[in-house]
Each structure stands twice: as C-alpha cells, then as structure tokens.
Structure 1
C-alpha cells in the first residue's frame, strides 16, 4: 500500500468521490459511502494541511461533479441557458461545493498534531459533520445534498435517525469510517516483524498488551456496539397511532416543465386536475403537487377554486392545493399551499430555494444569470411558526419543494401535527437522478418525526412513506396518474423531534474546542 504522501492518493481522490455519490439514490450502494470516507480520512494523514485540502477538493469534484449533474438539465433544458453557459455554471456549482470537503481536510490536519492517531480518530468525524452542517444549513440558505446519513437509510445506522437526526447519524457513520481506518492501520503495522521482538515463550496476551494490537479489541468492540445499538433502535417505536386511517389521493399531473406556464395551456391544466380530482371524492384528503395551478391565487380563486372547494365540501373531502400567491404589498409574492373544502387555510413557504426562488449574492448572481439568459422567480419567505394546516380531520406539517431537506423545519409543527405533506415539482430536472435523491431525503423526514409522509409531485416521485422510512406506495415517473392509499395519524415525539439538531451540533462544537485545547497542550508538553 503506498504511503499517504504518494501522488497515487491524489489521483484516487476523485474516484473515491464518485464512489461516494454511488452510495446515494438511485444507486444505493450504502457501503460505498463508508468506504469512500475511510479512504479520505486515510489519505489526510501524515500530510500538510494544504495537501489535505487539495485531496478533499478532488474528492468533492468527484462526488458533486457526478452527483449534481442534473443542474445542467435544469439550466439548459428548462432554464433557457445555452449548452456552454449551462456547462460552465454546473461546473462552477460543483467546484463551489467541493470547497467543503477541502475545508474539512484542511481543518482536520491543521488541528491535529502530526502522527497523533488517537486525536485524528475522533477529530476527523467531528470536523466532517460540522462542515456538513455549515453547507447544509447556513451557506446560501443551505444545500444539504449528499450528507452521509442519507446513504444509510437501509443500514442498521438508520436506527439513530429518530434519536439524533441527519447530523447525529452522519457523525456515527463518519466515526465508523474513521474507526475502520484505525483498525486497518493497526493491523498493517502488526506484521511478522513485530513477533521478532518477543521470545517464542511470549504469550499472545502479552503481545496484545504491549504491542499495537492492544488497541484493536476496544476499537472493534466500539464499532460493534455502534452498529448493534443502531440495529436495536430500528425496532423502537417512538410514536403511536391516534386515530382511524386517512384515505389519501395524490394527483400527479405529469405536465412537462417547458409547457407548464404557457398561457395557452392554463385552461387545459386546470381542467385536467379537476377531472382527475373528481374521480377520488371518496378520499379524505386529495393533494396536488407544487404550483399545480399555473396562475396566481387571485387569478383563479373565484372562477375555479371556490366552486371546486364547494364540491369538496359536499363530498366531505379536503383538498391541498399548491399555488403562488400575491401579497397586498405588490413587491411580495409567495410560494404557497392552501386547503379548501371542509378546512381552509394557507401556508407560505419559509425556506426558499436559492437561484430558483430568490437570488443570493446580489448583484453578482443576477448579473451572471442575465448573461446566460436564465430568468428565475423572486419570492418572499413566509414567517416562521405559521399555524398548521388541517386536512382529513388532523393538522399536518406542510413542506413545499426542498423544505423536506431540512429536519428541524419538519419537526416545528410537532407534536400537534399527525402527518407530513410534501408538495414538490422535480420536473425541472427531467429524467435524471435528482428525483430519486429528493425522495431519499424526504424519507429521512418521516423517520425523524415518526410520521407518515404524503408526497405529491408533478412528474414523480409521488409516494407514501411510513414512519420507518419505507416507501409503501409510489407512482411511476413521467406518467399521469393518481396514487391512492391510507395513512395513520400519529402522535408522540421522537427524541430528534423534541431536541432537533442542537445537541449534536453543540456537542460537536464543544468536542472540537476540546480537541483544539488538547492540541495546544500537546505542543506545550512536547
């Protein structure tokens, strides 16, 4: 095996990044995430901080360059940009995201004293998860794609999700990779030359006690405990049924994104959704996808939605409809979801999509997008702690588009909310891997909250997800259809829903500060 200073590690870093991307949907090779991260941790050892940053950047180029290639489809096929401009912006986006694993590598080496393996073993997972949090929650309003926990929904580590969420589970996954590296390195050092230091009368127990092998049993035991406890936690029921099943129908209109907002198609679109809805008046809840109505609320309310709501009342059904809304202030507009029928209410989207629903880094971002001829929306975020919408007799948490990528946002309405509803439109990304990745993230929210999730999309993937993250029903991609099924309203709180990300992130920060303090003491002592 080449030394970590070898250039071979540099060339392998982007390959490891591609393997990391294959751990996520739709490929779902979960083990690749741990393997790739173990490689990264190993190649960050005994090198300079700058070299570690370079390898982290190459790793990021491999993972994000292959995993978010759907950005090109969104810009070129539906955003109106040319092939060159779309390629350039997609490359810049992947290059920007690659800065985060580069930062993790730089900090891991900068903070760790050279050759202090015990400190590296703990530090690298801590730094990794804090950088994930930085990328997933703060920078550019958060981009939580490819956080390692999402790759572990089918492994024993999924048991930790309702306890400590995406970041806590991600830390345990990263720690597992770090432990594996340490075990491998100890085993590699304990070759036959070790035995030459002992007489033939020396017992194996003495070799374990005095040599490098003494650290193996605790590490193996720790790894076994982490995974065994996760497996046991998977069988723990954190929430409980509180009522009779709710019959639900999710309408998947399958309207191509390049046709969706054409004025000549508006009437046909409204009639399609009305016709499909009328076939399912026996449902308690009917859900339309994000911006199913290609017009603002005030343009269709009196002539279309009010009569439709009256029909819903007659059939004792609640409709959840997504529609853009003008505010009394002409400079404000919202991406919203409303309920009509037995219950009436409105939710205004809180967490907006950067470069899709608003433009960060102004005026630079607007200037660049104007150059490549991409015109995007400019919505206003809704206020936090809006009243919960109600349908089917129970309140629910509303998540519009990629709001389902943020765990604490999903838990804000608990314990009052009995289920989750996600309305989205992945039609922007065509026949790519993005809809699969998005569904994988939505499944995490069901596990974190211990609630059923009803997910209605324009072109797919419409689905029903159980509280343990299992997809119990799913509509095919790019097909006009209605997915029907039943869910059970749930009560109670998972530990994650009660405490959120604060304990994990706060604990990681404290641990990091302690490790930095230990580094200073280590330098002074030696």
Structure 2
C-alpha cells in the first residue's frame, strides 16, 4: 500500500474500532459519549474502505487494503488482550503485543479474501457492486464468528445498536452489519441520485443520539410480558491478580459472596427472587472448601425464599473440569443438608459450552504458547448445546458464561420450542482479566444485542463490570459502577414469545443469512455485462 492510502486505511480501521464503544473521555452532547457506540463513525469508516477498494488496481491490492483496514480495526478493538497475557499471564510485553497482532492479522484474512472477490465485480452495475460488497463483507464477518471455534468480538453491527437495532429481532447483529455495509457502499459508489438518497438515509440513521432510545423505541414487540422477577446481582470486584491467591482473593471471595448470599436469603424484599454471583465467584473447586462453609450456606438458602445462581468451577482430575453455574432453589421447611451440602444445594447445573481458546482450552499445537503464561484453570470440558433453563418462580432462566453471549445463534438454540424457551437470560462474567478497559463497555453492548435479537431481558453479574440489568429492547435500566464492590437490586420483566430471529436461528443457525448473501451475489452476477465472442 502507498503511504497515503495505507495511512487512510489504518485510521479508518481504528475509527471502526472506536465506533464499537467510544474509548476516549471526550463527549459531544448526546451523540458522542464515553463507552457508547457511534453508528456514524462506523459507517464513515466503511465508506472510506469501499472508496479505496474501488480504486485498487488488482485483486491482490484490494486484498491488502482490506486486510490492513481489518488488522487496524481488530487490533484496535481487542488490544486489551495484551492486559490478560502480559499483566496477568506473565507473557513478556513484546510477545503479548505480537500475539494480539498475530490474532488480528489471522482474522483479517477473511476480509482480505472478501475484498479480493469483490474486486471481480468492478465492471458490474452499481446496484450489483453495492449488494456484492454487503454480502461478501457479511460472509467474512460470519466466517470470523464461526471458523476455528469463532471469535466475533467487535463485529460491525454492534456499533449500530441505536441506529439499526430495530433490525436485530429480524436479522440479528450480522444482518445489521450487512445493512450498514450496503449503505456505506451506496455512499461510496453511487451516482448523484443514489448518493443523495443514501446520504439522507445515513443522516437519519447515523445521527441517532448514542444514549437515546433510538429507533428501537418504535419497534413493535414480538414478545409478551411473562411476570416479574426481583433480582440481586453481586459484584465482588476482586482484583484479578488476587482472585486465585489462596492467601488473599480466595478467602475474600468466600467471605464476601457467602455473606451476600446469606443476607439476600433473609431479605423479605427479595422473596421469590433471584441472586446471581458472577463467573467463578467461588474460584476453587467445591470439594477443596471446608464442608462447614457449604453447610452454613445450605442452611441460609434452604430457610429463605430466594434462589441463587453461582459461578463455580466443577469436576476433578479424573472426570475433567467445567466452568459452570449452579442453581440453588430454597426448600421449606429447612432440612439437614447431609454429608455433601454443596451437592444437596445444587438442583441445577449449567456447563459452559463455548470455551475461550487459550483461556479454557488449548488449541492443538499451541501448548508451547500457554506454557509461557501463568493463567490457572486452563483446560475445561464443553457443556451441551442447548441446556435446559433453571426453573424458578414461574420463570425459565437461561445462564450463559462470559463471551458465550457473543454467539446469538447458540443462545437461540434454546428457543426452538416456545413452550420451554427461556423467559430471562443471565450472563455471568469475569472481565477483570482485561483490566479497567473498553472491553467492559464492548461486552455490555454485546449483551444488549442478544437481548434485542431474542426479545428477552439480560441480567449481567460480573466481577468488575458491567454488572447491569438490560431490558428486552436492549436498554440498560440499571448498572453498578465498574470496579466497585456492591450489589444491584432490580425487578426484571420476563418475556415470552419468539422473535423472527430466534425462530430461524434456533432451527438453522446462521445458514439462512449466509444463503441470503449467496443469493445476492448470484443475482448480481446475472447482471454482469456479457463479454463479446472472440
């Protein structure tokens, strides 16, 4: 790439990353707020990309340009992986930087291939080129989210939650990204009339205030109220460098979460409600904790009127380990918990299905890399997909753990039968691995999109943030300050009914959207000018 073109692509890619959750302490009224998505910035970055791809002299040049853009975008999106690898994993800083860049470069290959293929549409009509760009870019986004176990963090559609969130219950985050890509391509490629129309539409959509209700406020409901559920969300705010320390973090976690559960069980305001503690709130195996601790909790929970969801690792060396959530419903009258009070309490269990590469399982051939780091609990077994929800207080409560909420098509698997579909979604996370960074804000918006797609409230209990309650329209209705120890009380409106997205994604995953992209490409190909016979 030439200097000016390369600089423009890098700046556009970094702008695309910043659009997902504005990372700077700089505000501009309601349109630019720290931690909030910026729809117009994401759209503008794609306009720059399409314009420069259209001028690429060869397919290889187009691939290099798109790859450079994607490298800057992806590295600028999940740069905070450096924190987990260097600060908490003990990996030397140059190696941690190289690892982040290598991951971004590998994932950028999907977009480079898409651009090289799009270059073949250079002689097609404007409509065909616009449709082809949106289709190929969306296929690249989905490939990144599926291949090699998938890592879709930072998909462009997340920046459009205020502007295009009304599409989420129909086509999901990838469909939102396709709409944004099509609009950007129309602005970059169209003639005077098309650009004028696309400009008006872009202004109407992308000028939506970052913190307002947006067009989602006018969205007709595909779901119906199904009662309310009082919740108390626990945020222990235990520093990651202490979390697994048996002299510091482990005793603190046992004491603070134990006391919080005991107090909640006795609180009459929470009767019939739910207490949620985050991922690995108890950071050691239950059998490694004194039985008296579990007996005390068993007595409190059984005597109360509050159910508990608790993040805890389970298993053994011989049986394997799982990153899990256990559900404890109360029993009345209180009874003796027996010799294994933890097992007696745990009437429900959810095991994490979508594991994090290098954090929860070691990809084949990469043991050498993880040996350089010092992160505990490295190899877990996978849970099934789907798993039944936790039944309590007339609700069906479906947990997901950490970055599982990136995979809307996997959460949708539990919606195949409307009679057993979840009425409330619960995410438990520990983003402390990545420090006090924009990762917290990005993850909040990911959960917001899942709530919109599936038409369900999402409650989030995390170690350091964002512990929040999100309604079925993707709006954050309550949130704890990040990094502070505390509890968040709220009342959640459960929902029943199935969104169109949940209906088709539950049965076919992402295949219908992929087929639609292929159909757009095929229709556009029919309109290519025919070559004259020699």
TM-score by length of 1: 0.86
Task: Give per-residue Cα distances to partners, 1:398-449, cap 9 Å, x unaligned.
Answer: 1101001111222222332110000000000011111111111011111111
Which residue is equivalent to 1:480? 485
Contact persistence 1:81–1:372 (CA under 8 A): yes
Q: What SS does structure 2 have at the residue aligned with 1:57? A: helix
Which residue is equivalent to 2:242? 259
Which residue is equivalent to 1:35? 44
Which residue is equivalent to 1:56? 66
Contact persistence 1:85–1:372 (CA under 8 A): no
Which residue is equivalent to 2:275? 286
Contact persistence 1:444–1:469 (CA under 8 A): yes
| CA apart distance, 1:518 | 5.2
Contact persistence 1:125–1:174 (CA under 8 A): yes
Which residue is equivalent to 2:27? none
Which residue is equivalent to 2:30? none
> Does 2:495 match 1:511?
no
> Does 2:54 match 1:45?
yes
Q: What SS does structure 2 have at the residue aligned with 1:522? A: coil
Which residue is equivalent to 1:338? 326
| CA apart distance, 1:307 | 3.7
The 1:405/1:517 distance shift into structure 2, 3 A limit, reads same
> Does 2:530 match 1:522?
yes
Which residue is equivalent to 1:130? 139
Greater share of residues in helix: 1
Which residue is equivalent to 2:14? 18
Which residue is equivalent to 1:91? 101
> Does 2:141 match 1:153?
no
| CA apart distance, 1:139 | 2.2
Between the aligned partners of 2:275 and 2:452, the Cα distance in structure 1 is: 23
Which residue is equivalent to 1:239? 223
Between the aligned partners of 1:323 and 1:46, the Cα distance in structure 2 is: 54
Which residue is equivalent to 1:457? 462
> Does 2:308 match 1:319?
yes
The 1:285/1:295 distance shift into structure 2, 3 A limit, reads same
The 1:456/1:232 distance shift into structure 2, 3 A limit, reads closer
Q: 1:165-314 residue pairs with structure 2 within 5 A?
A: 165-183=172-190, 186-187=191-192, 231=215, 234-243=218-227, 245-265=228-248, 266-281=250-265, 282=267, 283=270, 284-300=273-289, 302-314=291-303
Per mean C-alpha deviation after superposition, the further-off stretch among 172-181 and 92-101 is 92-101
Between the aligned partners of 2:275 and 2:225, the Cα distance in structure 1 is: 21
Task: Give per-residue Cα distances to partners, 1:310-353, cap 9 Å, x unaligned.
Answer: 312211110000111116x7152111100013382101111111
The 1:376/1:106 distance shift into structure 2, 3 A limit, reads farther
Between the aligned partners of 2:278 and 2:520, the Cα distance in structure 1 is: 43
Between the aligned partners of 2:512 and 2:358, the Cα distance in structure 1 is: 31
The 1:335/1:153 distance shift into structure 2, 3 A limit, reads same
Between the aligned partners of 2:112 and 2:139, the Cα distance in structure 1 is: 13
The 1:107/1:331 distance shift into structure 2, 3 A limit, reads farther
Task: Give per-residue Cα distances to partners, 1:53-96, cap 9 Å, x unaligned.
Answer: 11112212221222211011111111111222212212222222
Which residue is equivalent to 1:370? 371
Between the aligned partners of 2:95 and 2:196, the Cα distance in structure 1 is: 55
Long gaps (5+) in structure 2: 22-34, 208-213, 331-345
Between the aligned partners of 1:525 and 1:426, the Cα distance in structure 2 is: 61
Q: What SS does structure 2 have at the residue aligned with 1:262? A: coil
Between the aligned partners of 1:234 and 1:358, the Cα distance in structure 2 is: 43
Between the aligned partners of 1:355 and 1:24, the Cα distance in structure 2 is: 24
The 1:525/1:22 distance shift into structure 2, 3 A limit, reads farther
> Does 2:152 match 1:144?
yes
Between the aligned partners of 2:301 and 2:372, the Cα distance in structure 1 is: 47
The 1:268/1:122 distance shift into structure 2, 3 A limit, reads closer
Q: CA RMSD in A?
A: 2.6
Which residue is equivalent to 1:349? 352
Task: Report the count of equivalent residues.
Answer: 485
Contact persistence 2:385–2:413 (CA under 8 A): no
Between the aligned partners of 1:345 and 1:478, the Cα distance in structure 2 is: 29
| CA apart distance, 1:384 | 1.6
Which of 451, 475, 478 aligns to 1:446? It is 451
Contact persistence 2:37–2:158 (CA under 8 A): no
Per mean C-alpha deviation after superposition, the further-off stretch among 477-486 and 24-33 is 24-33
Between the aligned partners of 1:313 and 1:54, the Cα distance in structure 2 is: 62
Contact persistence 1:355–1:376 (CA under 8 A): no
Q: What SS does structure 2 have at the residue aligned with 1:353? A: coil
Which residue is equivalent to 2:341? none
Long gaps (5+) in structure 1: 188-212
Q: What SS does structure 1 have at the residue aligned with 2:238? A: coil
Which of 75, 78, 81 aligns to 1:71? It is 81
| CA apart distance, 1:14 | 0.5
Between the aligned partners of 1:35 and 1:349, the Cα distance in structure 2 is: 37
Contact persistence 1:172–1:226 (CA under 8 A): no
The 1:237/1:20 distance shift into structure 2, 3 A limit, reads same
Q: What SS does structure 1 have at the residue aligned with 2:280? A: coil
Q: What SS does structure 1 have at the residue aligned with 2:327? A: strand
Between the aligned partners of 1:252 and 1:90, the Cα distance in structure 2 is: 29
Between the aligned partners of 1:349 and 1:305, the Cα distance in structure 2 is: 23
TM-score by length of 2: 0.85
The 1:217/1:67 distance shift into structure 2, 3 A limit, reads closer
Q: What SS does structure 2 have at the residue aligned with 1:76? A: helix
